[in-house]
Amino acid sequence: MTIKYGRGQVSTDYKGLVNLIIKFDGNILIPKINKDIKLRLSNNLIHINGDLSEGEDNVLFEYFGQFEPKSSKDINTSKNLNLVASGLGFWNKGSDNVLWQNDTSTWGEKEHTYIHGRKLKRKLK
C-alpha cells in the first residue's frame, strides 16, 4: 500500500479494509473525510480505519495547513507503508514563497537567507 500526499489531499491506491496510523509534523485542519472511513486526529497522529471502495485513487481526506508525514504503518500487518509526495516541487517548498520563475530580482537584492549545502552562505538584511 502506498500513501500519497500533497496539494491538500491524502490518498491511497489500496482497495479493501484499512487500519493505519500516519505520524506527521505540522498543523492541519481536515474539512473533508472519505465517507467509507473513520478518522481520528490526536497528538500529530492520524488513525484511519474502514473499508475503501473500488477506485483508481481513493482520497482518504483533504487538509489545510502544513502537513509533513514522517511515517505510516498498517496496524494489521505491522508493516511500514510507503509515503509519496505529489505536487511538491523543490521550488514550492521555499520559506519565502517566491517561485524561482517569478523571481526577477538579482542575487542579494531581497531580504532572503541563502543556503549552500548545509551551511548558511549569506544572510541579507
In whole angstroms, give the CA distance from residue 111 to residue 89: 22
pTM greater than 0.85 (yes/no): no
All three cell numbers of 55, joined, read: 477506485
In three-state form (DSSP H/G/I as H, E/B as E, the rest C), the secondary structure along the chain is: CEEEEECCEEEECCCEEEEEEEEEECCEEEEEECCCEEEEEECCEEEEEEEECCCCCEEEEEEEECCEEEEEEECCCCEECEEEECCCCHHHHCCCCCCHHHCCCCCCCCCCEEEECCEEEEECC
Domains of the chain, by residue range, sit at 2-85, 90-123
In whole angstroms, give the CA distance from residue 61 to residue 34: 6
Per-residue model confidence (pLDDT) at position 10? 93
pLDDT digits (tens, 9 = 90+) for 50-67: 998 766 568 999 998 889
pLDDT at 12 over 60: yes
pLDDT at 21 over 60: yes
